[in-house]
Amino acid sequence: MLIQLQQNGGTMSDKKRLVIIDALNLFIRNYVVNPTLDVDGNPFGGCIGFVKSLQEICKELRPHEIVICWDGIGGSQKKKAMNKDYKAGRKPLRFNRRMIQLDEKNQAENKIYQQIRLYEYLNELPIIQVSIDGIEADDIIAYVSRHKHYEGWRKVIVSCDKDFFQLCDGETVVFRPIQKEVIDRGVLKIRDKIHPNNYALARAIVGDKSDNLPGIRGIGMKTVAKQFPFLLESKQYETEELFKYCEDLEKKISCHRNILANKKVVESNYAMMQLYSPMISYTNKKSIDYNIKEFEYDYNKTNFIKMLMKDGLGSIKFETLYVTMKNIRRNHESNN
CA–CA dist 53, 31 (Å, integer): 12
Taking only the tens place, the pLDDT of each residue in 223-242 is 999 999 999 999 999 999 99
CA–CA dist 264, 313 (Å, integer): 52
Is the predicted pLDDT of residue 5 greater than 70, yes or no? no
Q: Answer yes or no: are the C-beta atoms of 210 and 236 closer than 8 Å.
A: no
Mean pLDDT of 153-158: 97
What pLDDT, on a 0 to 100 scale, did the predictor assign at position 181? Answer: 92
Taking only the tens place, the pLDDT of each residue in 123-146 is 999 999 999 999 999 999 999 999
What pLDDT, on a 0 to 100 scale, did the predictor assign at position 73? Answer: 87
What pLDDT, on a 0 to 100 scale, did the predictor assign at position 82? Answer: 78
Neighbours of 317 (CB within 10 A): 9
Is the predicted pLDDT of residue 264 greater than 90, yes or no? yes
Task: State residue 147 phi and psi, 5-degree precision.
Answer: -70, 140
What pLDDT, on a 0 to 100 scale, did the predictor assign at position 318? Answer: 97
Higher-confidence residue: 325 or 87? 325
What pLDDT, on a 0 to 100 scale, did the predictor assign at position 92? Answer: 61
Q: Which string of DSSP letters, residue by residue, matches 62-93?
A: --SEEEEE-PPTTTTHHHHHH-TTTTTTPPPP
Q: Answer yes or no: are the C-beta atoms of 178 and 186 closer than 8 Å.
A: no
pLDDT band at 336, cuts 50/70/90?
low
What pLDDT, on a 0 to 100 scale, did the predictor assign at position 81? Answer: 72
